[in-house]
Chains A and B, each alone.
Chain A
Amino acid sequence: MSSTLDARTRMQRLLSERSPAALLGALAGVLLLGNAAVQKPGLFIDQAIGGLVYGMILVMISLGLALVLGLMGVVNFAHGALFMLGGYFTYATMASYGLPFWAALLIAPIGVGIVGIVIEVVVLRRLYGKEPIIGLLATFGLTLMIEEAARFVWGASAVQPAKPEFLTGGTDLIVTQVGTYRLFTVAVSTISVAGVYYLITKTDFGLSVRAGVQDGEMTEFVGVNLPLRFTAMFFLGSAIAGLGGALRVVEFGIDPGAAEEFVLLAFVVVVIGGVGSIFGSVLAGLLVGWAQFLVPVVLSALAIVTGVSAINVQGISDIIPFLVMIVVLLIRPRGLFGEEGLLE
């Protein structure tokens, strides 16, 4: 109860604290988006939904990264490799073992979660309380190992299982058609993110995790088995990333390069959202997703209106997450919710 209120008041505070310049910027943003929506309504909605799908996948990866960083103080570079494994496990379940998509959606996250537990128990447990750089190097090494293992088993080129038939169609939205699978992705990711949010903010388990983030040693002094919670949170974070990989592989396929590509984006999301804040990671993931998909549309619409074709910069979308990060850090050096993370 109190934490939803907290989120709302925090949101209000965030808005009320803005300077006139920032409000002017926001107004300009709204006008640009409006122009794009009028000029190219079909493409705009298409990209908005694409950005939502992509953003939710980023949220799913970032959550685990943010939780592990907040609770254990370890920068888990291997988190992208776990996302990638989710994709490969899904492919293996469906293509190699012939099981249905539903089964893969269950097996892949659990499988990735188990890999996560092994990583936590065998490697990370030795690194708690040590220099962060050691954790970063160790998990970077793990990433390379998992990547090479995937390359060895599934090859260097992308693999993609067949999309389940009932999710292949499209849903008509008048100006455009949206793939049913995209809507399915949004639904599943929303449910799982909401589930994590509920677990952390409303349950006794979540209470002990939040306490652990704030003062790990004291949490143990009041009787909480903290090592068990570390393992549980690592399982959870890995499984959510694995589920993200499972959702993505069916539409876009997966290749070993995804491990590093996505962990980098997840870092960007965590930094934008503010370390230790679940709410921040969710917002930042969506922000990055939408920015990446909508900025090209906004630019091309602006090019039409102004007649200056140079505005329509090609291939800009890949650098957008980093541009967003730079802008956010210039305004709020600790990220959007870095000071008042829900986890803290």
Chain B
Amino acid sequence: MTLLTVENLEAGYETGQVLFGVDLVVEESELVSLLGRNGAGKTTTLRSVAGAAEPTVLGGEITFGSEQLAGVAPYSIAQRGLSFVPEARRCFPRLTVRENIRLAINHASDPKDLETVLDFFPELSEMREKQARNMSGGEQQMLAIARALAANPQLMLLDEPFEGLAPYIVRRIEDIIAEINDQQGIAVLLVEQNVAAAVAVADRHYILDEGRIVESVSTTQLRENEEMRQRYLGV
């Protein structure tokens, strides 16, 4: 069944329009990546779906389950089962690991309990009273994902979860994302510049260029088509 449908989405900021008709679909329990160069509109797409105040959605439709998301407040979108992990992790710096997760649990309609979440992240379990600002980038990324997982969402939006992380942590985060998808059946829409990491975890890929989806390919197709990778992703 289709979980998320984005149709002809146009969006932009005060400085100008960024998206010129984005179409994409995420099926239930699917792991899809959205690839593209810097400035292609990846983050803008995710933020539009999450209901952020900026960018402004100028046209098109966003359907989650059977509901329209355009004009719905971000907290209300989150409560409907859509968890957003924005770029730069955005853990609450002066809240502890426990408080960061607790907050998500308190405000989700069908949350997991704290211990279930921490069992999933043994690293975090050992530092539950540590403030997020005192944690490493990799630990913060885990916390950001743990916080999203705590809400027990149907769909998780991940914006560049591998950015700025050491290779071995990238692999750990890849495993976590794959597990969340396989074992918990949570659909994931992953935005990445790191094509290798995206190929490692996602089943299907959209390529975004200048505010439009230009390709929709399987992992095999993406691997084999070097010309396509060169043209849109520069790799």
Contacts and interface: CB of A to CB of B under 8 A. Distances in A.
Interface string A206-220: 011011001101111
B84 A221 contact: yes
A220 B74 contact: yes
A222 B52 contact: no
A251 interface: no
B129 A223 contact: no
A211 B84 contact: no
Contacts of B75: 220-226
Q: Which interface residue of A207, A222, A225, A344 has the most chain B CB atoms within 10 A?
A: A222
Q: Which interface residue of A207, A210, A211, A223 has the most chain B CB atoms within 10 A?
A: A223
A217 B52 contact: yes
B59 to A, nearest CB: 23
Contacts of A220: 73-75, 78
Contact of B95 (A204, A207, A221, A224): A207
Chain B: interface size category: 20 to 34
A218 B83 CA distance: 11
B95 A222 contact: no
A225 B109 CA distance: 13
B172 interface: no
A207 B104 contact: no
A306 interface: no
A2 interface: yes
B23 interface: no
Contacts of B73: 220, 225, 227
B127 interface: no
A221 B92 contact: no
B222 interface: no
Given A214-B92, A218-B92, A220-B75, A208 B107 contact: yes
A264 B95 CA distance: 32
B95 A223 contact: no
A211 B99 CA distance: 9
B86 A222 contact: no
A331 B157 CA distance: 46
B78 A223 contact: yes
Nearest to B101: A222
Given A207-B95, A211-B92, A215-B90, A222 B50 contact: no
Nearest to A225: B75
Contacts of B200: none
B37 interface: no
Contacts of B86: 218, 221
B155 to A, nearest CB: 13
A221 B46 CA distance: 12
Interface string B114-130: 00000000000000010
Given A210-B95, A217-B52, A222 B102 contact: no
B8 interface: no
Contacts of A219: 92, 103
Contacts of A2: 96, 129
Contacts of B78: 220-223
A220 B86 CA distance: 12
Contacts of A208: 103, 106-107
A211 B95 contact: yes
B204 interface: no
B103 A211 contact: yes
Given A2-B96, A214-B95, A217-B52, A223 B90 contact: no
A59 to B, nearest CB: 22
Contact of B151 (A222, A226, A344): A222
A225 B77 CA distance: 11
Closest 7 CB pairs of A and B: A223-B107, A223-B78, A220-B74, A218-B90, A222-B104, A220-B75, A214-B92
Given A223-B107, A224-B75, A226-B75, 11 more contacts: A2-B96, A207-B95, A207-B106, A215-B90, A217-B52, A217-B53, A218-B86, A218-B90, A221-B52, A221-B78, A222-B151
5 contacts: A214-B94, A221-B84, A222-B104, A223-B78, A225-B73
Interface of B: 50, 52-53, 73-76, 78-79, 83-84, 86, 90, 92-96, 99, 102-104, 106-108, 129, 147, 151
